[in-house]
Amino acid sequence: MSTHTSGLSKATRRAPAKPPETALQGRRDLIRQIEAARGTQLVCYVTSTRPGLEVAMAQDVIRQIYPHLEKIKASARHGLPKLDLFIYSNGGDTTVPWRLVSLLREYTLELSVLVPFRAFSAATLTALGANKIVMHPMGTLGPTDPTVNGPFNPRDPVTQRNIGVSVEDVTAYLQLVKEDAGITHEDELVQTFNLLAEQVHPLALGNVKRILSQSRSLATKLLSMHMNKTSDGHKIQDIVESLTSKLFYHGHPISRVEAKDQIGLESVDFASEEVAALMWELYLRYESELELLTPFHTAQDFMVANPSFATQPAGTSLTTPPKVAKLAYVESAAASVVSVLEYELMGVRTPDMKTAVSLLQKRTGWQEEF
């Protein structure tokens, strides 16, 4: 019996079409390539820096990273593997680095942090706990002086939201008084401090001191995980002082050359050309998934989707279908979880014939990605 292919030679028969690679498959393939190039196991932690939708490092990530480490441990053939943490973040909760690094070190004897681009504030603290900080040419660390938020912070007169108090702003004010204004008499110093306390609640100032002390303590403990407290004590303190007090601007980007040669972070390694290319390509995949180059503007998005709404009479309202925004990723070669925000946009025509747009949060949380 003949078939519809019986007239075709072996050379002309076509293999079944291969399905296109999914975004998740592409990232996993890059993760495996980095692992092969470095002889390590890799876990990725990426938080959104999307304008209007920036997400901070938070304690909930610890629960999400743990299963990845368990899978890595189960697949290890000979003892604990070398472990890499690929991190991209503008920072966040300063208690996360200590818990995260402590957990990672339960599963490895040699921890490296890969920095493809930004690893600021709490992400920098995390990197301090690694044996090696492998940095891409675009990779940057940042000062670890925190900006403090609390119920006693001053309020913005327009939005009525609490204003973050920068540790460096407080210390710079006091230095300005002493060093530049030349005020050194005790009574005058008391007066200048009282002026500050009139603008910033004393309990907020106390919180600044507490958080600064905590940041210095954390940095010291993290560096001491791989540096000798006795023989390297002065180096550790110099690094901590540089990162918390000597850079003067919380947003200062520290390049890999500055980190190694000026800050004194001997743990910094320059990524090889092969690894650097893979790191950057993996970052670009996350940049695309999290839409990091597209500002999150609720009013603009609503009007683009509903251009005719601007002609509707006052009192008219409209709610968009649910949308999903991705906020953060935790990934390894074996699994992927993503933090998402499900939301709707509600537009209302006000009496003065303007459009007010509100974001209605439907759901937020971590979910597995397949």
The DSSP code sequence of 336-356 is: EEEEEEEEEEEEEE-TTS-EE
CA dist 103 → 30, 70, 73, 111 (Å): 24, 11, 13, 11
How much is the pTM? Answer: 0.84
E-assigned strand segments in 244-293: 268-270
The DSSP code sequence of 193-253 is HHHHHHHS-HHHHHHHHHHHHHHHHHHHHHHTTTS-TTTTHHHHHHHHHHHHHSS--TT--
Q: Using one digit for the tens of pLDDT, what is the confidence trace for 129-161? A: 999 999 999 999 999 876 666 676 667 676 667
pLDDT of residue 168: 64
The ranges of the chain annotated as CATH 3.90.226 are: 23-142+253-295+328-333
- pLDDT-derived band at 166, boundaries 50, 70, 90: low
362 Cβ contact partners less than 8 Å away, ≥ 6 residues apart: 322, 342, 343, 344
User: Where does 23-142+253-295+328-333 sit in CATH, by number?
Assistant: 3.90.226
Residue 9 reports pLDDT greater than 80: no
Other Cβ atoms within 10 Å of 259 Cβ, number:
25
Output the CA torsion sign for 268, 274, 275, 276.
positive
- pLDDT-derived band at 4, boundaries 50, 70, 90: very low
Q: Using one digit for the tens of pLDDT, what is the confidence trace for 239-253? A: 998 898 766 566 789
Q: Which of 115, 107, 117, 116 has its CA nearest to residue 132?
A: 115
pLDDT of residue 6: 38
| Contact indicator for 168, 146 with CB cutoff of 8 Å | no
The whole-angstrom distance between residue 36's C-alpha and the CA centroid of its chain comes to: 25
| Contact indicator for 242, 142 with CB cutoff of 8 Å | no
